[in-house]
Amino acid sequence: MSSGKTIWGKPEMKPKIKLKICIDILMTAALLFLMPYELVGRVAHEWIGTEIFLLFILHHILNRKWTAHMFKGKYTKFRILQTILVAAIFISMIGSMVSGILLSEYVFAAIKIKGVANMARNIHMLCAYWGFILMSLHLGLHWNMFLKMLDRKIHLPAGKKKYIFRILAGVIAAYGCHAFIKRQIGSYMFLKKHFVFFDYTEPLVFFMLDYIAIMGLFIIVGYYFSMILRKKS
């Protein structure tokens, strides 16, 4: 039996875990609002980008024990995937921030290097779209924790809850596939198009709903893939 404090008969969440969850929520929200940069405005885009990078650093500081044990212990298939994703996200985040600074017209306007704008723009697009997908997959690897918290909040029979979750996941995944194609995400990820198309007459909420669905699609992919790997480990 746990010796920790309880609230209404349930273990109390530690302050550090609460802080980690808050940072993850803020990073997810910031990531979503980075994508419609022309619709939210370039000044806001640069400040949101700076915020997410600072949160990313704080996230790694709070998870430094995981980093310290990176080269210790047994590597299961799940751990290999997790480590590859973390490394890829780190590279994309650094690439996004460095290229963003080079392209900055407001927050880092004082930093100017001639002749790098085109290269920086391509790197920024690559890192932004790959980072979005990779971070969504990374969320999916840990989605089981969110589902457990949600499970405790919904007071329905276990079989009915599982049925509802699966239907909801199917709807999100189906619409996420549609939104992925509609928004031409693949073209941006592989630089088939060098400029992102924005419909300035489109309400921001519709754009955000599509990207939330795309994020949901890759969270679901990451979640089910992690379940398969955990069973095989």
The 10s digit of each residue's pLDDT in 49-76 is 999 999 999 998 998 888 888 888 889 9
Question: Distance between CA 222 and CA 136 in Å, rounded?
Answer: 8
Residue 93: HSE in the Cβ half-sphere, 13 Å Cα cutoff: 20
Q: What is the model's pLDDT at position 135?
A: 96
- Do 85 and 50 touch, CB atoms closer than 8 A? no
CB neighbourhood size of 168 (10 A): 12
Question: Distance between CA 187 and CA 212 in Å, rounded?
Answer: 19
Provide the 3-class DSSP secondary structure of residue 156. coil
Q: What angle do CA 200, 136, 45 make, to 5 degrees?
A: 35
For residue 173, the one-letter residue type is: A
Q: What is the model's pLDDT at position 6?
A: 42
Provide the 3-class DSSP secondary structure of residue 99. helix
18: exposed, middle or buried (Cβ count in 10 Å: 0-12, 13-18, 19+): exposed
24: exposed, middle or buried (Cβ count in 10 Å: 0-12, 13-18, 19+): middle
Helix, strand counts (H, E) of the chain: 10, 2
Cα radius of gyration (the chain): 20
Tokens of 157: 């029979």
Of 169, 173, 194, 172, nearest to 184 (Cα)? 194
SS (H, E, C) 193-229: CCCCCCCCCCCHHHHHHHHHHHHHHHHHHHHHHHHHH
Name residues of the chain where pLDDT drops below 70: 1-13, 233
